[in-house]
Amino acid sequence: MHQPLTKVLLKIFAGGFYQVHAAILLVVFFIMVGAVPGNMLITYHKSLMLAMTSSPIMLLLVLAVWLIYIFKSWHYVSTQIFAPDKQFLFYSSTALNRSEQRKSWCYAQAAILAPVIIYALLAVGVGLAHHFYVLPAVIILFLSAMIWCSAALYMRVMNGLVDGSKQSFLLRWSSKWRKPYFSLYIYHIFDDKKVPYFITKGLSWLIISGVFYLFADVSTDTRLAGIAILAVITAHVVLIFEERRFEETKLSFARNLPISRFRLFLNFAGVYFFLLLPEIVWLFSRFHPLMAVELLLAGLSIALLFHSMLYWFGLNMDKYLQWILGLFMVLFWVIMFRLLWALIPLNLVIAYLFFYNNYYRYQGVVGKE
Amino acid sequence: MLKFQNFKKLYGGFPALKVDELSIDPGIYWIKGVNGSGKSTLLKSIAGILAFEGDILLDNSISIKKQPVEYRKLVNFAEAEPIFPEFLTGKELIALFAQAKEAQAGQEQHYIDTMQMQAYVNRPVGTYSSGMLKKLSLVLAFMGKPKLILLDEPLITIDTASLKILNSWIAERYNQEGTSFLLSSHQALEHAELPIARELIVEDQTFKFIV
């Protein structure tokens, strides 16, 4: 534990991981604590832990959830390793012998998995107290193996030589295609933002099945579909924000290109059409074509509204989320009053005005108050 | 060629640059100024990348505010430290600019050949060194038929041999097509190779001719 490398890795990767994921971890914590009434909290978790240590199916489900967390940590650490301010690790940590490196990485990974480990140990305790021995042993083995594998993975990345020529599959595959301006946003998503894209699509799927499961009795109501589409687009806020960030950081030269604002706006509609393709397939397979078109246009108009607002106040995530929340509530009630069709032109006009008036008003990466 | 009308650029409420009235005739100009004087801010404003108050007119008729597309077709820009999406190749970026700026087919070949970029122009720009990236941004600035080309710190990061080639490009475009240039630099330019007309300076929050 007193290894200098351990300290550095803990500070950089474990500390960094919690800093970046503090919000989402807090949400999960509140869901786990707040989902049940206070007086039943302990019995609830105790029975959950008992189920984990007695039922293999239940344990499998829990391990699957933990695996998602572990994948997330792999993704975080392996991208952070290549950040410019961590480059020094390539010519310092690699000089230590491998067992010392492994030990330090194991500590770092264990620290990242601390919430899982603490919950797992409690579950093992509960299981043992009820004389279950096999599944608690499986839990301990699983987590130890995962920590060891993670350390091995990070060491492989760290000790392998950097191959600067790697390119994602899509880009190698598309190297012969022309790349018009608006397609750059799509390539960016599939080059650099695959994880947020697939998380968003997963969320989208959960929303759609959740809404129609909960309201199965009124599942043919346009309002329900409208609200599902609103929620789906809201799930895309991270991608929409990333598109704007990409435009601001990597495409700032584009303001010098002679492309009219109307065409740019249409281009963005094209970008979101493309990103929403999986949802569009669902819309047309489930609803009457006319209704599917209405829902699609409503979805696109909401996405463009969310996108265009960012030109107004810049890349300020806090402010953005507040606005999205407010707009969500307003749009929700508009849809409840059966005015989905009216939303389409309204959203588009407001979005275009925001876009038209602010596109050339460059405010820098973070908008000033 | 270029005319400023009540140009004012504010940064956080403070005036960073102010040019009430200034006309610049066609030619090649060297814009001087110490670090932080606002040379890049000025060039980015003329390029249409930074917002400002007032107006800039090209040839007394094309306003950056009122004819944004026509203006941008005629004014090209190369940044001091260019940034592009890493996944694009040099060729793809050139194709994008060539289309947007309505360049003649094959216009880029002369520039790629003389700057000897054939070996890497098909590679993603993420693999480029800063000098290679700079050369690519210079090629992009010469695409199409601009009346004015703005080069922000063209001397930095490129080697002396490439500098001579760049000077020959500038002289060529100026002599053949009458293209004007605004070059910002805190170093002296090669007067022997460039038909330099006049010098301008950015200081005391304004932009003026050196008298």
C-alpha distance from residue A296 to each of A229, A355, B51 (Å): 8, 21, 35
Distance CA A330, CA A338 (A): 13
CB contact (8 A) between residue B97 and residue A250:
no
Of B68, B88, B140, which is closest to A360 when you measure between CB atoms? B68
Average pLDDT in the A96-108 region?
91
> pLDDT-derived band of residue A232, with 50, 70 and 90 as boundaries?
very high
C-alpha distance from residue B2 to each of A245, B39, B150, B175, B182 (Å): 32, 16, 12, 19, 11
Each residue's pLDDT tens digit, A277-312: 999 999 999 889 999 999 999 999 999 999 999 998
CB contact (8 A) between residue B85 and residue A258:
no
**Chain A contact probe: residue of B96, B123, B127 with most A CBs at under 10 A:** B96
Distance CA A328, CA A229 (A): 11
Q: Which residue of A has its CA nearest to B12?
A: A368
Contacts of A255 in chain B (CB under 8 A): 47-49
For residue A368, pLDDT beyond 60: no
Number of neighbouring beta carbons within 10 Å of residue A230: 23
pLDDT score of A367:
38
pLDDT score of A167:
61
Do residues A13 and A157 touch, judged by C-beta distance below 8 A?
A: no
C-alpha distance from residue A242 to each of A178, A239, A296, A316 (Å): 23, 5, 22, 12
B127 vs chain A: nearest CA distance in angstroms? Answer: 7
Do residues B24 and B1 touch, judged by C-beta distance below 8 A?
A: yes
What DSSP string describes B48-101?
TSS--EEEEEETTTEETTTSHHHHHHHEEEE-SS----TTSBHHHHHHHHHHHT
Distance CA A241, CA A53 (A): 42
**SS3 state at B158:** coil
Mean pLDDT score of chain A, rounded to an integer?
Answer: 87
How many CB pairs (< 8 A) connect A and B? 80
> pLDDT-derived band of residue B67, with 50, 70 and 90 as boundaries?
very high
Average pLDDT in the B105-125 region?
93
> pLDDT-derived band of residue B108, with 50, 70 and 90 as boundaries?
very high
pLDDT score of B13:
74
Cα B76 from chain centroid? 6
For residue A363, pLDDT beyond 70: no
Of A165, A168, A360, which is closest to B48 when you measure between CB atoms? A360
C-alpha distance from residue A182 to each of A203, A265, B35, B181 (Å): 25, 10, 36, 30
Average pLDDT in the A101-118 region?
94
Q: Which residue of B has its CA nearest to A179?
A: B92
Mean pLDDT score of chain B, rounded to an integer?
Answer: 90
Of B12, B50, B96, which is closest to A181 when you measure between CB atoms? B96
- Helices A15-34, A56-80: axis angle to 10 degrees equals 150
pLDDT score of A365:
45
Each residue's pLDDT tens digit, B136-179: 999 999 999 999 999 999 988 888 899 889 999 999 999 999 99
Distance CA A134, CA A52 (A): 11
Q: Which residue of A has its CA nearest to B73?
A: A258
Statement: the pTM of the whole predicted model exceeds 0.80:
no
Average pLDDT in the B112-140 region?
93
CB contact (8 A) between residue A168 and residue B127:
no
pLDDT score of A140:
95
Looking at residue A97, its amino acid is N
* Of B187, B118, B109, residue with least CA distance to B142: B109
Each residue's pLDDT tens digit, B79-94: 999 999 988 899 999 9
> Hunting for tokens 């000033």 — which residue is that?
A368
Tokens of A302: 């909401």
The least confident of A22-31, A111-120, A137-146, B55-64 is A22-31
Do residues A237 and A324 touch, judged by C-beta distance below 8 A?
A: yes
Of A164, A191, A362, which is closest to B49 when you measure between CB atoms? A362
CB contact (8 A) between residue B76 and residue A256:
yes
CB contact (8 A) between residue B69 and residue A258:
yes
pLDDT score of A106:
95
- Helices A340-358, A222-235: axis angle to 10 degrees equals 30
More confidently predicted of A368 and A23? A23
pLDDT score of A182:
87
Report strand pairing: B148-152 vs B75-78.
Answer: parallel
Average pLDDT in the A243-259 region?
90
> Hunting for tokens 């305790």 — which residue is that?
A125
Tokens of A97: 């012998």
The least confident of A26-35, A237-246, A278-287, B105-114 is A26-35
Contacts of A188 in chain B (CB under 8 A): 85, 87
Strands (E), B82-191: 148-152, 180-184
Contacts of B85 in chain A (CB under 8 A): 184, 187-188, 246, 250-251
Residues 51..110 of B with a Cβ closer than 8 Å to A: which? 51, 68-73, 75-77, 79, 82-89, 92, 95-97, 99-101
Contacts of B100 in chain A (CB under 8 A): 181, 257-259
Distance CA A1, CA A104 (A): 8
Of A179, A188, A260, which is closest to B96 when you measure between CB atoms? A179
Sheet containing strand B53-58, edge to edge, reads B14-24, B2-11, B53-58, B62-63
Q: Which residue of B has its CA nearest to A367?
A: B12
